[in-house]
Structure 1
Amino acid sequence: MADDVREWLTDLDLVKYIDVFVENEVGMRDLPAINDGDLRELGLPLGPRKRVMAAIEALADEDEAASKAEQDLPGVEAERRQVTVLFADISGFTALSERLGAESTHELLNRFFAVADDAVLRFGGTVDKHIGDAVMAVFGAPIAHTDDPERAIRAASALHAAAQAMDPPLAIHAGVASGQVVASRMGGEGHQEYTVTGDSVNLASRLTDLAGPGETFSSADIARGLGNRVAGVSLGPRPIEGLPEPVE
């Protein structure tokens, strides 16, 4: 896979558009979030737009295949990893499920998890588990990228949009946190799954609880690392259940 957008566009025989991408600060990590409207705004005509969108889809397929292949590997030993954890939960799910009934709720959850998993895999993450009406995803294990925190935030943003596009539209609230975890396969002989454990998992879960519908809360270290690449506001220090000090 190309490491630089210049090389990537050259491989697509679209050298003439390199300056457009560079001038607009569009790099490889931005490609998963690019859509046809963005390319139109950059001035690309129909043919090149189709080529770029097909290549972006191929990149997503490569990441998804790599994630699935890594998750299927047997006998992964426990190891410490630096990861970013994403939790996303359906807002108002209890009232919604009471209104829909058991069968319709089950069908809705399956559709929600499908779009959630797609958002995670599209940005190179690993779906750790589904818990009730929530999804937990990991960026950085078993596959690591230099920009895993940004990938997690962009996956959360994509999931907000995808959930809103569902029928009925769903609002979600999400939490994102980075830190050291222990990654391994857990379980008995009958069933094992790749998962991570550590304080960042708990923090991401707690941040999700604090976030309101349509919101993604992340710790300040993630926001500082992203700089102005992702819009956000500081909410100041907040007490987090189970942690000795407030978290900003």
Structure 2
Amino acid sequence: MRLNLRAKMLIFTAVIAALPLIVAGQSVIRVARDELKSAANEQLAVTVDKVTGEFNDFLEYSLYTPLDLIRNAISGEQLGFEEKIVVLRQGIADLPDVVVLQVDVDGVPRPITVVQEAYFDRLKAHFDNPLDVLRVDAGQFETPADGRAAAQVVRISETDDWLATVSLPIPGGIRDRAATLHARVNLARLRGAVEGNPFARTGSIHVVDGDGRVVFASDGRPWNQPGVLAKAADMLASGTATVAVEPFTLDDGSISLGAIALTRALPFAVVAEKAEADAYAPVNDMIRSLAQWLAIGLVAALAGALLFALGISRPILRIGEAASEIAKGNLAHRVRGVASRDEIGDLATRFNDMIVQLNERFELQKFVSAGTMRAIQDSDARTVHLGGERRQMAVLFADIRGYTAFSENREPEEVVTVLNSYFQKLADIVTANHGDIDKYVGDQIMAVFAGANMSKHAVECAIGMMNAMNEMASQTSADLKIGIGVNSGEVVVGAMGSTHRKDFTVLGDHVNLAARLCSAADPDQTLVSRVVYDALPAKLRDAARALPPISVKGKKAQIEIHAFGARQMQAA
């Protein structure tokens, strides 16, 4: 796809304007994302630590301490049975989270049970005998070495309550019999702590047990994330005490940042979660803002670039139009309408100067031969060196007869006009027959021919010249004829002269012989050497007429010649 200068400038400007903003924006976004992730992870860790702390404090300080007092009060024989019952009733009245206090004594078939009346009445709406629900099965507990046990957290589905059983051995027993104090604790206060946590406004908190059940949640929405639950179950099974903070892939494919911690007294794992999209919401706002400013900056930059591109491209287009006109040969065309005082204005001025110089050089080319131009073009140096090389060429000299007499009685301007009209016609014939005019010498033309058919081309050119002269003579008052000499052989081709003035021409004995043959030719006659005659095809040889050998200046031996005449060729 071809792009013009305006499009390139607009693209370049867009890249230059957008690239720094994009690079800087990416760096800022990356830093902000890392900072937000770090802050979110810290917030998650702090949240689960706070929630687990509330769970631990609830059991260890709010329950274990008063329960220690109660078990110590009912131990031994200091209080009678009735007094022990009073202590249990007073204890359950002072501990609103405890719904049942039960004392099991070895050897006594029925435990001593005191229930919270309000909670008992609440269960009566769902059960015929609430005491069966609240009574603790002592056989399910093993008292640990520290004398404390918190186990068997059960859910009463009818009331959606979670009850934890705390078991404490009574020191000294009762009446010399081992005894244990059991307390069923309603965890509703912990539910409220989870649901009322400030973190619930931006994230979610879930408390799960080892079976993957959700005990408490900060919201009422359904939640079942296998990856998070599996991690929590592993931690509960191994008893990991550290806080685990890591991203989780949820079942809908989204990413959630989560933290998990375990409570000490209860077999629960606290999970705090925040959607990655919510954690990075400020980054998204930043990206939107950056995109808006980027769009504004691009529009402003492109508008400025468009104006700038128009100011540059229009003069360049005018220069391009001028170049197209020059390529068509219209050297009269000039670059106009470029008035900028900068490099483009200078370019337009130099381009106009170049057109003037090209016109001058184009005119100068008409004063040199095609061979001279080829020598200049083929030279690998800045100048054509003096010297030459040997080549096989055919040389033609054509001299206009009657020119001196014609010019005596006419004005010079008329003579030049007539001579140029003859030369134009003859030059076209030379070009049509694959020749090259080496030079004009007065009323004489020197032409050269190269290649395998050089003799044939030279003779055909000579015959064409004679026919053209006869045709032009019939159309003008000038009675001019032409005499032509043709010879071929090895000549020296190259630059002759001095370093200041050179002439690219051909020299040699064979050139001189062609000139002598031209001088010896009669008007309307072409003389060719034996070498040329032998190289001609049969048809041309049959049209030639053998003449007696002649003597020429510079040659001791006589020269065999053959002649061609215009009328003779027309007849042939």
Please classify the TM superposition score into its range, dividing by the shorter chain length: 0.5 to 0.7
Instruction: Tell which has more relative contact order, 1 or 2 (C-alpha 8 A, sep 6+).
Output: 1
Q: Distance in 2 between matches of 1:170 and 1:72?
A: 36
Write the distance in 2 (CA, Å) between the matches of 1:175 and 1:131. 15
Matched, 1:240 2:561: no
Counterpart CA distance in 2 for 1:209 and 1:184 is 25
For 1:16-54, what per-residue CA distance to the aligned partner results, in whole angstroms no more than 9, with x for missing partners? xxxxxxxxxxxxxxxxxxxxxxxxxxxxxxxxxxxxxxx
1:215-243 CA distances to partner (integer Å, 9 max, x unpaired)?
00000121122142211011021111111
The alpha carbon displacement at 1:189 in A equals: 3.9
Contact 2:372-2:504 at 8 Å conserved across structures: no
Aligned residues: 180
Gaps of 5+ in 2: 1-369, 561-572
TM-score, length-normalised on structure 2?
0.30
1:84 to 365, 370, 394: 394
Deviation of the 1:164 alpha carbon: 2.1
The Cα RMSD (Å) is 2.1
- The range that moved more, 69-78 or 122-131, is 69-78
Contact 2:402/2:479 (CA < 8 Å) preserved in 1? no
Query: Which residue among 459, 473, 489 is the counterpart of 1:153?
Result: 459
Shift of 1:196: 0.3
CA distance in 2 between partners of 1:100 and 1:207 (Å): 30
Question: 1:192: Cα distance to partner?
Answer: 2.7
TM-score, normalised with respect to structure 1 = 0.67
Q: Which residue of 2 aligns with 1:165?
A: 471
The whole-number CA distance in structure 2 between the counterparts of 1:233 and 1:87 is 19
Per the alignment, residue 58 of structure 1 pairs with none
Structure of greater Rg: 2
Query: Is 1:117 the counterpart of 2:427 in the alignment?
Result: yes
CA distance in 2, matches of 1:149, 1:95: 33
- Residue 374 (structure 2) aligns with: 70
Q: Distance in 1 between matches of 2:469 and 2:460?
A: 14
Question: How is 1:1-248 mapped onto 2 (pairs within 5 angstroms)?
Answer: 70=374, 72-73=376-377, 74=379, 75=384, 78-140=388-450, 145-166=451-472, 167=476, 168=478, 170-230=480-540, 231-248=543-560
CA distance in 1 between counterparts of 2:434 and 2:537 reads 21
Deviation at 1:159, TM superposition (A): 1.1
Q: Give the secondary structure class of the aligned counterpart of 1:107.
A: helix
Conserved 8 A contact 1:163-1:169: no
User: 2-side partners of 1:132 and 1:175: how far apart?
Assistant: 16
Please state which structure has a larger fraction of its residues in strand: 2
CA shift at 1:96, angstroms? Answer: 1.1
Q: Give the distance between the partners of 1:87 and 1:71, measured in 2 at CA.
A: 22
